[in-house]
Structure 1
């Protein structure tokens, strides 16, 4: 195993410890630390806690893709205090864990209508990343329109699988540029937005797909398309 390489813009998905000591949990609600908005009457609910028995992210059963949320009828926008925003289905909800207010540092956790954790989005001024040797197969990648014009490399939505020692690790998240297929040293996705950093990941359970074909089938499902749309909707005002 090669030694970890620290990303040039320093330290902090190890921000977790600081979050635990100094952060405070706040459900997303109008007028809260993050502001969900919508073009219709749909709003983000923050009154129902996640179902403890349904905290795993996208998963499959018997090798077949499964969706815990129906196709969304409408979208709402969640906005962080620092202006980073994203869209999600109206019947999903967002909880904000705030570590600091000035400058703002926090993590939004996105739950689907059934209470399953689907994605996390971190925004702050520091982030930590390491590289590791992998053999990667990229299924899909596309630039994020709302994050164009930010420092290079350009933010992309990406869905791929990394194979390490015959173990497949599926990832759907924001990447700095287009991830390359083949053997490489892979760096976790850290996006630069002005003088800030952004990290956004879909939360998969261990071994979510029986095969790459099952992963591609899940991507075409309502759940897969909703999470793809969430990542592609990221923007900064």
Structure 2
């Protein structure tokens, strides 16, 4: 073998060795059939997938278990709505009848005028409080310490709304309640919104009961003043129930207290 052939053989051997070394480096960390970019892509994708799966679990936890601040915020308006007393509703005034027994709260923009005492000499006298809105429109009447009439009779009553007046009972210890209902007579409906014995708003109602309630100091009556007819239809009465005026009158009647 001449010197030229020796140099050629040595060059071929060196090139073959270099090729074998590069091949072994590329194979490290790869699987059969994967490209050089394959493992890198799967390495970055796997952690991203785990993070996206964990994220919904972490975000759903606060919804299932509200924080203390969120719970207290949502509980406050619920409590105030469930018990609309004078202390729980902002912007109200309190009216107390002269004898100091019966009282109620009403919006501070409304007004109360009193009528009476009324009645003949020697008989029990009463005072009427007439409540009007800011425009002077008279909306409700509450009478205290008067002679009560308890006449009643059969009735077909439909109750649209009712709730017990907190802590208010009559002289016999019966629970009193606020109610909005109508009594059907032939082809007409007589709407009334008042405070009566709770049973007068309990279905099925077959006896009209009385708008007058009895306390130790005499009779009382608390009712909303309606025109005649009060509403064109039951649907229009139900539409009125979602107004602010309805809510204010309901709170007024529910705020009645006797001491």
- Same fold, judged at TM 0.5 (above): yes
In proportion to residue count, which structure has more helix? 2
Runs of 4+ residues over 4 Å off in structure 1:
100-104
| 2:107 equivalent in structure 1 | 89
Q: Pick from 71, 78, 82 the counterpart of residue 95 of structure 2.
A: 78
| 2:150 equivalent in structure 1 | 129
The 3-state SS of whatever aligns with 2:156 is: strand
Q: Is the 8 A contact 2:148 2:214 kept in 1?
A: no
| 2:117 equivalent in structure 1 | 99
Greater CA radius of gyration, 1 or 2? Answer: 2
1:188 lines up with 2:206 in the alignment: no
TM-score by length of 2: 0.59
User: Where in structure 2 are the equivalents of 1:163-174 lying within 5 Å?
Assistant: 163-174=184-195
User: Where in structure 2 are the equivalents of 1:1-237 lying within 5 Å?
Assistant: 74-83=91-100, 84-99=102-117, 105-148=126-169, 151-178=172-199, 179-182=201-204, 184-237=206-259
Aligned-pair Cα RMSD in Å: 2.5
In proportion to residue count, which structure has more strand? 1
Q: Is the 8 A contact 1:151 1:194 kept in 2?
A: no
The CA deviation at 1:107 is 0.6
Alignment partners' CA distance in 2, 1:196 and 1:164:
31
Q: Say which structure, 1 or 2, has more relative contact order (CA 8 Å, 6+ apart).
A: 1
Q: Which moved more, 1:84-93 or 1:95-104?
A: 95-104
| 1:58 equivalent in structure 2 | none
Alignment partners' CA distance in 2, 1:229 and 1:183:
24
The CA deviation at 1:148 is 4.1
* 5+ residue gaps, structure 2: 1-85
Q: Is the 8 A contact 2:194 2:223 kept in 1?
A: yes
Alignment partners' CA distance in 1, 2:205 and 2:170:
30
Distance 1:202 1:81, change over 3 A: same
